[in-house]
Amino acid sequence: MSKKVNVAVVGATGAVGETMLAILAKRRFPVGELYLLASERSAGESIDYRGEEYIVQNLATFDPSGVDIALFSAGGGVSKEYAPKFAAAGAVVIDNSSAFRYDDDVPLVVSEVNPGEVANRPRGIIANPNCSTMQMLVALAPLHRESRIERINVATYQSVSGGGRSAMEELGRQTGALLNFQDVKPERFPVQIAFNLIPHIDDFQDNGFTKEEMKLVWETRKILGDEGILVNPTAVRVPVFYGHSEAVAIETERRITPERARELLRAAPGVEVVDERKAGGYPTPVTHASGNDAVYVGRIREDLSHPRGLNLWIVSDNIRKGAALNAVQLAELVVAEG
């Protein structure tokens, strides 16, 4: 990776964009020119990258020629409009939105699971999976390789940072208000999020599932290249700032014992097993995930109700491995192509 590449971060002022910059710096990504882009609102602000100040530019008036890699995280609408323009100007686009994830000619890639797919990008666009699918598959792919997973039951406990800065601000504001005996008015979330749980993320679909839940179904099948995998998801927003958690129950073709699962997961890239049967011997968003890169797995145990069933508790920082880190890892795979 000796050659420098010109990088554009679209949505640089957002929760994911900010973390993308921190991760590019931390991993010493070979950044040549760096373009920080956002809406007209933030144009002119300055952001520090490795000790230098960069001025945020307005995406709408930016000329993408000269950009080698564009990391998009400014929502689906922005991606739909601008990602094809960046690709047409010669950039490889790594898109964090759901705009292209289900298109056959756009690869959907988790760097530890199906890295080879990065090269298969006829439109110059690579899609970054949704946060909840990302962490689940980093942990489940090594088990799936051992014995095909037939069915996944998953309930997610998703932090508010997945909804961006405004969602984090709402949790903070409501928490402060309630502790001061004041009323709260939901704005960003459909109902109060502080001291509550909300079983509703993204839009409801005709089948009664939410889009966030269906992402787990569609994306798991596409990334594992297995249209037959059954996935039964429930996605819940919880009043946690950073880190998604998932209670996952899998059914495999052949039985995988908890001991064998621990062994496989200890050897798996990007995974840390935290699985002691004592107080605190399991990962949580605050004690493990927040601010860290790994996908943490604990509470590994046999399903009491199924002969080939295994339960796992999977926790990761949704902004890091769930979004920004994987995007940068995909960019590293592109750079490694030479």
Which residues here bind ligand A2P, judged by CB under 6 A?
11-15, 17, 38-39, 41-42, 59, 74-75, 78, 164-166
Angle of CA points 208, 211, 215, to nearest 5°: 120
| The one catalytic residue among 144, 200, 244, 288 | 244
Amino acid at 227: E
Does residue 11 sit in helix, strand or coil?
A: coil
- State the residue for tokens 């927003």: 237
Query: 243 and 315 in contact (C-beta within 8 Å)?
Result: yes
| Least distance between ligand A2P and beta carbon 283 (Å) | 25
Does residue 21 sit in helix, strand or coil?
A: helix
Phi, psi of 69 (to 5 degrees): -130, 130
| Least distance between ligand A2P and beta carbon 16 (Å) | 6
Using the minimum distance from each CB to ligand A2P, give the nearer residue, 61 or 180.
61
CA distance 227 to 299: 28
Using the minimum distance from each CB to ligand A2P, give the nearer residue, 222 or 237.
237
How many Cβ atoms sit within 10 Å of the Cβ of residue 281? 11
| Least distance between ligand A2P and beta carbon 49 (Å) | 15
Using the minimum distance from each CB to ligand A2P, give the nearer residue, 13 or 220.
13
Contacts of 52 (CB under 8 A, 6+ apart): none
| Least distance between ligand A2P and beta carbon 22 (Å) | 14
Using the minimum distance from each CB to ligand A2P, give the nearer residue, 41 or 266.
41
| The one catalytic residue among 131, 200, 288, 306 | 131
CA distance 162 to 285: 13
CA distance 161 to 182: 24
Residue with nearest beta carbon to ligand A2P: 14
Whether 131 is catalytic is: yes
Helix pair 258-266, 131-146: axis angle to 10 deg = 110
Length of the chain: 338
| Least distance between ligand A2P and beta carbon 209 (Å) | 23
Using the minimum distance from each CB to ligand A2P, give the nearer residue, 42 or 318.
42
Using the minimum distance from each CB to ligand A2P, give the nearer residue, 160 or 335.
160
| Least distance between ligand A2P and beta carbon 23 (Å) | 15
Cα 254–chain centre separation = 29
How many Cβ atoms sit within 10 Å of the Cβ of residue 319? 30
Phi, psi of 301 (to 5 degrees): -160, 160
Using the minimum distance from each CB to ligand A2P, give the nearer residue, 38 or 268.
38
CA distance 138 to 120: 21
| Least distance between ligand A2P and beta carbon 85 (Å) | 12
Contacts of 317 (CB under 8 A, 6+ apart): 242, 243, 285, 289, 290, 291, 292, 293
Known catalytic residues are 131, 244
